[in-house]
Amino acid sequence: MQAQPVKPTSYFFTKGEQTKEVWYYDLSDLNITKKQPLTLQHFEEFFKLLSERRTSDRSWCVPIEDIEAKKYDLKAVNPNRKDNEDKRSSEDLITIIESHAAEIEKAIRQLRNKRI
Report how far apart the first and last C-alpha atoms of the chain are (Å, whole number). Answer: 43
Q: How far apart are CA 69 and CA 56, in angstroms?
A: 24
Quote the pLDDT of residue 47. Answer: 94
Torsion sign across C-alpha atoms 25, 31, 35, 36: negative
User: Which segments of the chain does DSSP mark as H helices, in order?
Assistant: 44-50, 64-69, 90-114
3-state secondary structure of 4: coil
Quote the pLDDT of residue 115. Answer: 73
Q: Give percent above pLDDT 70 in the chain.
A: 91
Quote the pLDDT of residue 97. Answer: 93
Residue pLDDT, tens place only, 36-82: 898 999 999 999 999 999 999 999 999 999 999 999 999 888 898 87
Quote the pLDDT of residue 65. Answer: 97
pTM above 0.75, yes or no: no
Quote the pLDDT of residue 109. Answer: 92
